[in-house]
Structure 1
Amino acid sequence: MTNLERHLPTPADLEVDLASLRGDCARMAPHWSVPDRIAARPVSPSRIHGVSVPPASARLLDAMSEYGD
């Protein structure tokens, strides 16, 4: 029988302090952008009349309760 389990090396610095996390966020902040305007406005609930779900997705959602119960 083949053992398919693989053990990947873990990073040495699993314990990260808040200062290190804030520094990482500060370095990433210039890469984040905000859109100039909102692309779509929310739709009024009175205009929503139904949702169509493909049969394969419906079967998947139907089977999900078996795992959570």
Structure 2
Amino acid sequence: MSTQPAPREPQESEFSLAQLRGASARMAPHWVVPADAAPARVSPAAIHGVVVPPASARLIDATPEYGA
């Protein structure tokens, strides 16, 4: 006799998008961030050693909020 559990069939998410959004809205007040938590601005000239793969750069460039 096998002690392995029967394989489960893939199921869709137990929650709908509306339920997840509602749960997020209810949790949001618990995640208040202090106003002084924003990091200080850094000059682009001071940033060294950051490497962005070309595919990622193209993806961000194609996003209207970030691209030119």
With the shorter chain as reference, the TM-score category is 0.3 to 0.5
TM-score if structure 2 supplies the norm length?
0.38
TM-score if structure 1 supplies the norm length?
0.38
Higher RCO (CA < 8 A, seq sep 6+): 2
